Structure formats: C-alpha cells, structure tokens
C-alpha cells in the first residue's frame, strides 16, 4: 500500500508518567476513528506519534483528523528516509521541488535536530549542509534565521524525517480520558463553547436539548442539530437527546409564580438531565452559564440549580466575558449557526421580572409543591435521540428505528 506519513506532536500527555499509555492509546484511537475507512498504522517514538495513512486518503481529511482531535499539539506531513547523509540530501531535493519551496525566491531556514547522537553530523552541521542543498537548487533564495518565510525541518531519530509545514493542533487531553458528561445544548452561543472546552479537558459528552414545540420551532431544533454536528468532530461523535418539554413548560407556567418560571424550568432541566445521565452512565452535567450574564446566572440561582442536580454541574464559562466566548465560538465554527434567529424555550416563557437572588430552600419547596415529577418522567421516556459520527453526519436516529 502506498502511504503518506504524518508526524504528531504530543504536549501535556507526554508528561503523564505512568498513565501516559492510557492517554496515548486513547489519542491514537480518536485519530484513527477519523481516518476510517482508510487504513492507517501508528507507531510511537519519544513524545511523537507517526501515522502512516493510505495515500488515497485526501489531505483535507487527514488534516481535519489531526486538527480537530484534542491531545494533538502540532502535526506535519513528513517524509522519512534512511539515516544516511546521502539519503537525506536526496529526500531534501525531492521535498523542495514542491510548495512552499518551489517558487525559488525569498527567505528560508533549516531547523535540524538530532536525538540520535551517533549520527556523524551535529544539528548545526546538518542545517548548514541542507541549507547548501537549497541554495544550490534555488540561488535566488537567501537564509534568514530570525524571520524566515519557510522552514525545512530535519529530525534524526530512529530514521530521518523531513518536513516543511508545522501545523498547530488544539492541545488538551484526548476525549474520553476524563469520563463522560451530559452537555445542555441550547441554540445559543455559550453552550457549544462550554462543550468544546470540556472536551478539551478529555470529557466525552452527549448533548441534551429541551424542545418546546410549537413554542420553539422546528427550525430551532434544526439549529441545535447543526450545532451538534459542528461539535461532533471535537467530541469524537455524540448523541443528541431531544426532550419534549412543552407540557412541562406549560405546567410550570400554570403552577408557579411568574417570577419563578425560569428557576423552575432550570430545576426541571436538571432533573431530566440527571435521569438521562443515569441511563447514559454520565457522571456530570455541563452548561454554558457565566456568572452574572443573565438573572438565572447569579450565584444564588446556580446554588439552587446545583441543589436540584445529583451530579456535579460543570460551568466552564463561569468566569468568561461574552467577547471571549464569542471568539471561541468563531474559532470552532459554531458562531454563525448560534446567531441564527430562532428562539430558545428559555426566552419564550421567561418572566418580565425574574427572581435574581432566590432562596434555595424556599424555591426547592415550591418546586416540589408543583408536583411535576410525573410529567418529567414522561418527557424522559419520550426523548428522541440522534447519533452523530466523528464527521458530523447523523448515523441514526431513534425516529428511524420507530418508523
Ligand atoms: P446559551 O447561549 O448557551 O443558550 P444563554 O446565555 O442563552 O446560554 P440561558 O438561556 O440562561 O443562557 O441558558 C444557560 C444554559 O442552560 C445554557 O448555556 C445551556 O447549557 C442550558 N440551556 C438553556 N436552554 C436550553 C435548552 N433549550 N436545551 C438545553 N439546554 C439549555
Ligand atoms: Mg440560551
């Protein structure tokens, strides 16, 4: 099989001591999942993974596999050759006949490193020799070691590796290393970013969306499905649970004081999310709340909703400003979808003057007095699911299996 080679740099996970194998195995697995159906093999050498992938796999797909997988700090498409000076020179000549060297003008430098100290030339000598090869071929080029327009990298390890591009990865920890959580995914800007940030710390997540049809439109659901699809590569695939929430919302409207509606709704979300987490064996909930962003995101409100959850509620955006959240949303590609104008269920039933500093004991009593548990159980039972693959495509939905 004709193959192409990618070299992957690991950051934090190469420092993991005794647990390093566990993290590395997960990372290999997560990358390979994205390279299916192309054959790939992976080997490891000190702080690096080397992937050999069927040459038929398009570059965009390979690039996406490395650039969307947490745990990858950097990656390069590389060529490998025998560790002899002549072979390295030949490989260099081939490599510089293609971009970004082949225009033959401007500046460059050679960055060489040698972990095998038995190689007869040291790093500086390798850089000088290969610099000479480039200049022989392209006399119009010049060396600039401080601000080069392009770099030729040469690493002498078990073999010699040469490459001319070094792309940044996302860093973090491989998804699934830190267990599983349930992400409360609304159609807004914040919750996709919250999910992305927890995925970066290795948390696998399924998503939950509370849908109050027809008060929230089919388009609102489509928007959340699009957001789940955008998140799916980062989450290594995900399941979206769509909870029918209309009856519960109407019950809240008719059985609680107006200023408590949002709090009661959030309490119901916690109860349902915990029940779904139980079924999915997830250990925590994740929300996009940020301290002080809206009335339901005060410390008192968060304390109340925490009390309604049996599982820890992670709020990775709690200390972030909206501008920072928007910048991340743009980076991960969710922003444009999040700002589509379809209302969330929170907005539709939200009171004019919500309680800002609720007393958790009083509100907990009010929640129980509503006797809404039966409706919530029904909502859990009637929840539908959509499974998204690592490429963001829907693989199956519970609606299909019922049909
Ligand atoms: P977002 O931008 O994520 O919608 P927000 O600033 O609009 O957040 P709220 O509407 O108060 O804030 O919601 C806070 C969090 O509660 C959301 O980040 C999300 O995690 C969760 N949430 C709100 N509405 C829903 C919903 N319909 N389905 C699932 N989760 C929701
Ligand atoms: Mg919202």
Structural class in CATH, domain 180-402:
alpha beta
Place of tokens 């001591």: 17
pLDDT at position 52 is: 96
pLDDT at position 345 is: 62
pLDDT at position 12 is: 75
Using DSSP, state whether 298 is helix, strand or coil.
coil
Supply the DSSP symbol for 118.
T
- Residue 28, class by beta-carbon neighbours within 10 Å (0-12 exposed, 13-18 middle, 19+ buried)? buried
Residue 188 has pLDDT above 90, yes or no: yes
Protein residues with C-beta less than 5 angstroms from the ion ligand 2: 186, 188, 344
The C-alpha atoms of residue 333 and residue 330 are separated, in whole angstroms, by 5
Summarize the confidence of residues 394-398 as an average pLDDT.
Answer: 95
Phi, psi at residue 70, to the nearest 5°? Answer: -70, 140
Q: How far apart are the CA of 205 and the centre of ligand 1, in A?
A: 16
pLDDT at position 21 is: 86
pLDDT at position 201 is: 96
In this predicted model, what pLDDT tens digit does every residue of 264-288 receive, in sequence order?
Answer: 999 999 999 999 999 999 999 999 9
What is the number of the ligand closest to the CA of 186? 1
The C-alpha atoms of residue 389 and residue 254 are separated, in whole angstroms, by 40
Mean pLDDT of the chain: 94
pLDDT at position 254 is: 94
Residue 343 has pLDDT above 90, yes or no: no
3-state helix, strand and coil shares in percent for the chain, rounded to the nearest 5: 45, 25, 35
Task: For residue 62, give both structure tokens.
Answer: 């390979």
Residue 399 has pLDDT above 90, yes or no: no
Higher pLDDT, 11 or 374: 374
Q: How far apart are the CA of 344 and the centre of ligand 2, in A?
A: 6
Residue 46 has pLDDT above 80, yes or no: no
pLDDT bucket at 237, cuts 50 / 70 / 90: very high
**Positive or negative, the Cα torsion across 285, 289, 290, 292?**
negative
pLDDT at position 346 is: 60
What is the number of the ligand closest to the CA of 212? 1
Task: For residue 361, give both structure tokens.
Answer: 């004991």
pLDDT at position 170 is: 96
The C-alpha atoms of residue 246 and residue 349 are separated, in whole angstroms, by 10
Pocket of ligand 1, candidates 186, 242, 292, 337: which has the most ligand atoms within 8 Å of its Cβ, to mutate? 186
pLDDT at position 348 is: 64
CA–CA distances in Å: residue 377 to residues 17, 144, 176, 273: 45, 68, 29, 11
pLDDT at position 282 is: 98
Nearest ligand 1 atom to the CA of 338 is: 2
Is the CB of residue 22 less than 8 Å from the CB of residue 66?
no
The C-alpha atoms of residue 130 and residue 107 are separated, in whole angstroms, by 14
pLDDT bucket at 64, cuts 50 / 70 / 90: very high
Q: Determine the distance from the C-alpha atom of residue 239 to the mean position of all C-alpha atoms in its chain, rounded to a whole number.
A: 14
Is any atom of ligand 1 closer than 6 Å to the C-beta of 268? no
The C-alpha atoms of residue 128 and residue 124 are separated, in whole angstroms, by 6
In this predicted model, what pLDDT tens digit does every residue of 86-125 receive, in sequence order?
Answer: 999 999 999 999 999 999 999 999 999 998 889 999 999 9
Task: For residue 27, give both structure tokens.
Answer: 């990372």
Using DSSP, state whether 90 is helix, strand or coil.
helix
What is the number of the ligand closest to the CA of 198? 1
pLDDT at position 125 is: 95
Q: What one-character-per-residue DSSP string does 99-163 give? A: TTTTT--EEEEEEEEES-TTSSS-HHHHHHHHHHHHHHH-TTEEE-SSS-S-EEEEEESSSEEEE
pLDDT bucket at 296, cuts 50 / 70 / 90: confident
In this predicted model, what pLDDT tens digit does every residue of 139-181 receive, in sequence order?
Answer: 999 999 999 999 999 999 989 999 999 999 999 999 999 999 9
CA–CA distances in Å: residue 95 to residues 51, 240, 391: 19, 45, 31
The C-alpha atoms of residue 158 and residue 271 are separated, in whole angstroms, by 55
CATH number listed for the domain at residues 3-168: 3.30.2130.30
Is any atom of ligand 1 closer than 6 Å to the C-beta of 344? yes
pLDDT bucket at 251, cuts 50 / 70 / 90: very high
The C-alpha atoms of residue 378 and residue 327 are separated, in whole angstroms, by 39
Domains of the chain, by residue range, sit at 3-168, 180-402
pLDDT at position 347 is: 65
**Positive or negative, the Cα torsion across 60, 61, 62, 68?**
positive
In this predicted model, what pLDDT tens digit does every residue of 323-338 receive, in sequence order?
Answer: 999 999 999 999 999 9
The C-alpha atoms of residue 296 and residue 22 are separated, in whole angstroms, by 39
pLDDT at position 204 is: 98
Poorest-pLDDT segment among 3-12, 90-99, 125-134, 304-313: 3-12
Nearest ligand 1 atom to the CA of 243 is: 28
pLDDT at position 366 is: 96
Is any atom of ligand 1 closer than 6 Å to the C-beta of 216? no
pLDDT bucket at 402, cuts 50 / 70 / 90: low
Summarize the confidence of residues 191-203 as an average pLDDT.
Answer: 98
The C-alpha atoms of residue 342 and residue 336 are separated, in whole angstroms, by 13
pLDDT bucket at 50, cuts 50 / 70 / 90: very high
pLDDT at position 20 is: 84
Summarize the confidence of residues 344-359 as an average pLDDT.
Answer: 79
The C-alpha atoms of residue 48 and residue 34 are separated, in whole angstroms, by 19
Pair type for strands 384-388 and 312-314: unpaired
Poorest-pLDDT segment among 183-197, 228-242, 351-365: 351-365
């Amino acid at each position: 099989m004709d193959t192409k080679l990618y070299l992957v740099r690991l950051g934090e996970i190469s420092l993991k001591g005794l647990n390093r194998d566990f993290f590395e195995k997960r990372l290999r697995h997560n990358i390979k999942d994205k390279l299916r159906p192309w054959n790939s093999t992976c080997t490891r050498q000190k702080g690096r993974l080397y992937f050999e992938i069927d040459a038929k796999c398009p570059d965009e797909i390979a690039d996406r596999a490395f650039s969307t997988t947490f745990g990858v700090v950097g990656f390069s498409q590389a060529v490998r050759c025998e560790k002899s000076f002549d072979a390295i020179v030949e490989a260099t000549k081939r490599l510089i006949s293609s971009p970004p060297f082949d225009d033959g003008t401007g500046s460059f430098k050679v960055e060489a490193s040698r972990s095998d100290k038995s190689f007869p030339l040291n790093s500086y000598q390798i850089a000088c020799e290969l610099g000479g090869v480039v200049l022989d071929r392209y006399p119009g080029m010049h060396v600039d070691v401080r601000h080069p327009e392009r770099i030729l990298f040469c690493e002498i390890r078990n073999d010699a590796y040469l490459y001319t591009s070094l792309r940044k990865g996302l860093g973090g920890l491989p998804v699934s290393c830190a267990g599983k959580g349930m992400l409360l995914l609304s159609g807004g800007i914040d919750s996709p970013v919250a999910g992305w940030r927890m995925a970066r710390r290795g948390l696998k997540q399924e998503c939950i969306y509370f849908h109050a049809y027809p008060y929230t439109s089919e388009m609102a659901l489509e928007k959340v499905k699009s957001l789940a699809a955008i998140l799916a590569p980062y989450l290594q695939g995900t399941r979206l649970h769509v909870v029918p929430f209309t009856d519960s919302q109407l019950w809240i409207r008719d059985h609680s004081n107006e200023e408590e509606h949002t709090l009661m709704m959030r309490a119901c979300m916690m109860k349902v999310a915990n029940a779904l987490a139980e079924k999915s064996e997830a250990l925590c909930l994740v929300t996009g709340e940020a301290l002080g962003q809206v009335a339901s995101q005060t410390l008192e409100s968060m304390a109340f909703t925490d009390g309604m959850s049996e599982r820890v509620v992670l709020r990775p955006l709690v200390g972030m400003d909206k501008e920072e959240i928007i910048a991340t949303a743009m980076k991960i590609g969710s922003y444009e979808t999040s700002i589509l104008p379809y209302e969330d269920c929170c907005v539709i039933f939200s009171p004019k003057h919500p309680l800002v500093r609720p007393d958790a004991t009083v509100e907990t009593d009010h929640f129980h007095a509503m006797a809404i548990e039966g409706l919530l159980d029904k909502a859990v039972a009637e929840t539908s699911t959509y499974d998204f693959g690592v490429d963001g495509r829907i693989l199956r939905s519970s609606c299909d299996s019922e049909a």
